[in-house]
Amino acid sequence: MMTEHAQPAAAPEPKPGYERSDINPRLIGALFAIIVVAIVVAVLAVERYFAVVYEQQLYIKVLSPVASDLKQLRAREDARLHSYAYIDRKKGLVRLPIERAMELLAAEYAAGNLKYPAKPYPVKPVEPAGQAPAEEGANAAQ
């Protein structure tokens, strides 16, 4: 008896013509969606990076450097604000440092002898533009 051994079947010969298998539309759709999402993320990342770099450069070039003129102006203002000086020697007018002026004003207020009226007054209502105040209108009608 002969043992039967299965012989491998010969591969079918390719038929001339075109490819008969279809593409996988789900795979193509998924790849398209992934590519679109990647492009959107890349654009948003570049836009955010640009905004951050722009803000840094704006701060470095415009906001952080202080001009020497501005420094000198602030120094003069601070010197005037925090020092004594004569305004008019003949009249005896003297400029006081702001701290000392506040101390003197607080002491005058505590003593109750302010040289100017410090009593609060009610604020007058604002009249609409183009209308005469009520008092003037009443006088004009009489």
Quote the pLDDT of residue 75.
Answer: 92
**DSSP letter (8 states) at residue 115:** S
pLDDT digits (tens, 9 = 90+) for 118-139: 677 788 888 887 766 555 545 5
Query: What's the pTM value of the predicted model, to 2 decimals?
Result: 0.37
* Residue 133 · residue 118 · CB < 8 Å: no
- For the record, the structure tokens of 23 come out as 């593409």
Distance of alpha carbon 142 from alpha carbon 137, whole angstroms:
9
Residue 2 confidence (pLDDT): 53
pLDDT in tens, 39-74: 999 999 999 999 999 999 988 888 777 778 888 999
The tens digit of pLDDT for each residue in 69-97 reads: 888 999 999 999 999 999 899 998 999 99
Is-contact 123 133, C-beta < 8 A? no
Which H/E stretch holds residue 95?
A: strand 93-95
More confident residue, 50 or 21: 50
